[in-house]
Amino acid sequence: MNPVMLEHVRQIIQKFQLITAGQKLIVGVSGGTDSLVLLHILKQLAPRLDITLHAATLDHQLRGEESAGDVRYVEQICREWGVVLTIGQADVKRLAREHQLGIEAAARLARYDFMADVAHMQGASTVAVAHHADDQAETVLLHLLRGAGVHGLAGMGLRSSVPNHVDLSLIRPMLRVSRAEIEAYCEQHQLAARYDSSNADTSLLRNAIRLEVLPFLTGYSPHVKPALARLAEIAAVEDDYVQQHVLLFTKSAAVTVSRQQISVDRDAFRGLHAALQRRVLLWMAAQLGQTQDTSANLVLDAIEMAMHGRQGAIGLLGGGIRLRVEYNLLLVEVEERAATEHHTPLLPAEFDEPINIPSSNILVGWTLYVTLDQPQNAASVCGIAVPNGSQIVLRTRQDGDIFYPLGMEGHSQKLSRWMVNRKIQQTLRDQIPLLVVDDVVAAICVNGAWTVSETFAIRNTLERIIYFQFLENS
């Protein structure tokens, strides 16, 4: 027994009233170190807290027998510890295609939906997960790299809502416990946790942050992880203050909410501080069912439209939500036509996935085929010269992207300017597919036609040529 850590977690639970006596608690368990320790600690504390535990584990069907082995191990542990367990399965790859998500985001969606289903079936109102202080540091740094605002820098809270299930609470009892403390507890109690081999894949940004970026920063500042956690706590307080003012505004006479449209008095919106303008737009998009994160560029463009746009001007907020200027009103509404109705390959905003050679990459409505041999069907084919050992990524545009259009004698152009010159519809610019080789934009696909960078143009047959082809799914 480790009374210090047990007492620490108990104090967190009681100080922040994460659990109430007599309730049933759903505990997410993967079989890894963190979730195994969480279940073990809650099992020790359950009599003192007067709670009942119900474990939930999900097979994401991403790692074959390894995933199935995790489930069997969790089943064995729960049987030995006397904890009731519900097992689920999810086809995460199919979910990613249907919702236009990356694999990590789709897996997260599947996990929370599954745990919410278990909670509803068990009559529980709270789900516990094993995020800890190091996870918090990684999350804050990840959000910082993506240009997050105060809300993103607040990271994860000790208590929040289960994503897409506002009727359920999500608690993180170990959020102020370090990974080192958890691993020491695991070793002391001889808990043989399962190892997820995908956690070593540094092509995934979060893994790279954990395994490479944070250790590098720690070499310069040994206390970088606690500093990031402290930043999250400060940002969370300030975020709460801003959110209170957002809710005050949205409950005022300036805002009218209906099922598929929210109207705002334009002068009232113009009178808000810029920080509140952003948050009000995000709040309205969320009320209309938006679940994906809105890029900062879209929000800033929409604010510019709201402040200075003419009658009928439209700004895209992502996720099928748009802002429209209607005389003295701003209308935030569900789009009449989703971008997926365009017969051209498009990606979700901020899509960013590594590409293997060869591979078939199934997307919403389309599949990107990558081969070393030139396809017989010449439709929508792009061939580029790629040096051996290069990393290829399929993504959407990012701030600072530049492009070297073929025929401009090596002169570069901002990608945003190139898109304007090509008269690409503004609402689609954040979804145009880009092939990026070693962080350099190599080719752009617009309306099924590819434009290749001068840098990666084929000069002779001795070069290593990779072929890319979008074909519409039947």
Q: Is residue 344 part of a domain?
A: no
The residue type of 258 is S
Predicted confidence band at 291 (pLDDT cuts at 50, 70, 90)? low
pLDDT class for 343, splitting at 50, 70, 90? Answer: low
Based on the fold, state whether residues 265 and 385 are members of the same structural domain: no
442 against 472, higher pLDDT: 442
**Does residue 238 sit within a domain?**
no
Name the pLDDT band for 300 (thresholds 50, 70, 90). confident
| CATH number for the domain that contains residue 137 | 3.40.50.620
Q: Is residue 239 part of a domain?
A: no
Q: Are residues 329 and 381 in the same domain?
A: no
Instruction: Check residue 438 and give its pLDDT.
Output: 94
270 and 400 housed in the same domain: no
Q: What is the pTM of this model?
A: 0.66
Residues 317 and 375 in one domain: no
Q: What is the count of structural domains for the chain?
A: 3
Whether 226 is covered by a domain: the verdict is yes
Are residues 212 and 98 located together in one domain of the fold? yes
Rama region for 151: left / alpha / beta (φ>0; ψ in -120 to 50; rest): alpha
Under a CB-based contact definition with an 8 Å cutoff, are residues 464 and 458 in contact?
A: no
Domain CATH for 286: 3.30.465.60
| 380 and 294 share one domain | no
Q: Identify the domain boundary among 233, 266, 287.
A: 233
pLDDT tens track for 368-401: 999 998 887 766 788 899 998 999 999 999 999 9
What integer pLDDT is reported at residue 378 of this predicted model?
A: 63
In this prediction, residues 307-314 reach a mean pLDDT of 83
Q: pLDDT band at residue 454, thresholds of 50, 70 and 90? A: confident
Domain boundary among 233, 263, 283: 233
In this structure, is residue 242 part of a structural domain?
A: no
Same domain, 324 and 459: no
Residue 339 has pLDDT above 50, yes or no: no
Preceding omega of 47 cis (within 30 degrees of 0): no
Domain containing 39 equals: 3-233
pLDDT at residue 336 tops 70: no
Tell me: pLDDT of 25 over 90.
yes
pLDDT of residue 337: 40
- Residue 379 has a pLDDT of 66
Tens-place pLDDT, residues 207-259: 999 999 999 999 999 999 999 999 999 999 999 999 999 999 999 989 988 77
φ, ψ (nearest 5 deg) of residue 413: -145, 140
- 66/210 same-domain check: yes
**Same domain assignment for residues 15 and 151:** yes
Mean pLDDT of all residues in the chain?
Answer: 89
Is residue 224 domain-shared with residue 257, that is, in the same domain? no
Same domain (yes/no): 361, 302: no
Residue 51 confidence (pLDDT) above 80 = yes
pLDDT value at 341 more than 60: no
Q: What would the pLDDT profile of 104-124 be if each residue is shown by its tens digit?
A: 888 899 999 999 999 999 999
Residues 81 and 16 grouped into a single domain: yes
